[in-house]
Structure 1
Amino acid sequence: MRSYTLRGGKIHPVVATTLILSICLAGCAQVTVPTGSNNVDTPTVLTGSIPTPSDQAYSDVNADDRAVIAENLDTLSGDLDLSEESKDVMLSWLNPVSGNSGTLTKIETATFDATGCLSFHTTANTIAGIKLYSGTACRDVTQRFAVTALSVTDT
């Protein structure tokens, strides 16, 4: 059997073949680091050092709470004419799973006919405390509301 020399030592042909094959296959492998997410339900926050109002709202009011808010907006839209400018309606919501609750107010429907979206304010009584949030809810393909934006409001 033939052997090859490498700086004073001998290399067996099987070892040489395995070494060359592993080097070639290593070039085909990819190692990537995720830099973003296409998942709109759980956005990737890339920097935790500069919190934004939407990051804080996302951590305080979870996806289940947002679904409860959207369900309450659905019940409201069946009772009222959404073509009016503004609603002076207060609508309470409660998520029995998380225990979070709040009140929907200032439901603005001025752009509903054009976009299928409405804006609102809601309070949220969460473990982090009681805060005021402003948000947007739009109709999805099933014609039900889904909360598309929510951020902490100072006033």
Structure 2
Amino acid sequence: MRSYTARHNKIYPLKNRSVMVFAVLLGGALAGCGQMGMQVGTDDLKTPTVLTGSIPSAADVAYSDLSPEDRLAIAANLDALNADLERGSNLDGLSLPWLNAISGNSGTVSEVSSSAFTQTGCLTFKTTANTIAGIKLYSGTACRDITQKFAVTALAVADA
């Protein structure tokens, strides 16, 4: 007759404590790899500053319709005004067409206001945009960055 006996498994404690200390230190070091950081002093204009998604705003629509490359095309056309701004020329009635050759979006910058330019280095403007979503009117602000080039800092759907 056969008899079956259960085996007793014994858990042996670590005889070498340095192995346990190494394992704890390795786990702690790898836990540091999961940290998240935030850049300070960045000029990241790709990320919209609209933080709530529950209440749609005109800025949400502008950021979904116009890509960062479209904003660069608008800013490049505003850079063409640098010489006129330095002379203090009147910008009333000025129209600047813009085109993003990559996306095919286009429009016309108009109603450029340089009233606050001397104090802030910023211009306000309106632009049309012919995108896949249709033709819309946007109001925006462009400010000079550290390289003295314009960058679109704010853009929202405007009332026609």
Paired residues of 1:124 and 1:133 also in contact (CA < 8 A): yes
Deviation at 1:135?
0.6
User: Please, what TM-score do these two structures have when normalized by structure 2?
Assistant: 0.73
- Summarize the alignment of residues 39-118 of structure 1 with structure 2, pairs less than 5 Å apart: 40-43=44-47, 46-79=51-84, 83=88, 87-118=92-123
What is the percent sequence identity of the aligned residues?
50
Q: How many residues align?
A: 147
Aligned to 1:132: 137
What does residue range 7-22 of structure 1 map to in structure 2 within 5 Å? Answer: 9-14=9-14
CA shift digits 1:61-92 (9 cap, x unpaired):
11111111111111133246663675221111
Q: Assess if the C-alpha contact under 8 Å between 1:70 and 1:137 holds in 2.
A: yes
Unaligned runs of 5+ in 2: 1-7
SS of 2:73 mapped into structure 1: helix
> 1:15, 1:131 → 2: CA distance?
74
Deviates more, 1:123-132 or 1:38-47: 38-47
1:83, 1:110 within 8 Å by CA — same for their partners in 2?
Answer: no
Asked whether the equivalents of residues 37 and 43 of structure 1 are also in contact (C-alpha less than 8 Å), the reply is no
Structure whose residues are more often strand by fraction:
1
Q: What RMSD in Å do the two structures reach over aligned CA positions?
A: 3.1
TM-score, normalising length from structure 1? Answer: 0.75
Distance 1:33 1:89 in 2: 46
Question: Structure 1 residues 15 and 87 mapped into 2: Cα distance closer, same or farther (>3 Å)?
Answer: farther
Query: Within 2, Cα distance between the matches of 1:33 and 1:48?
Result: 22
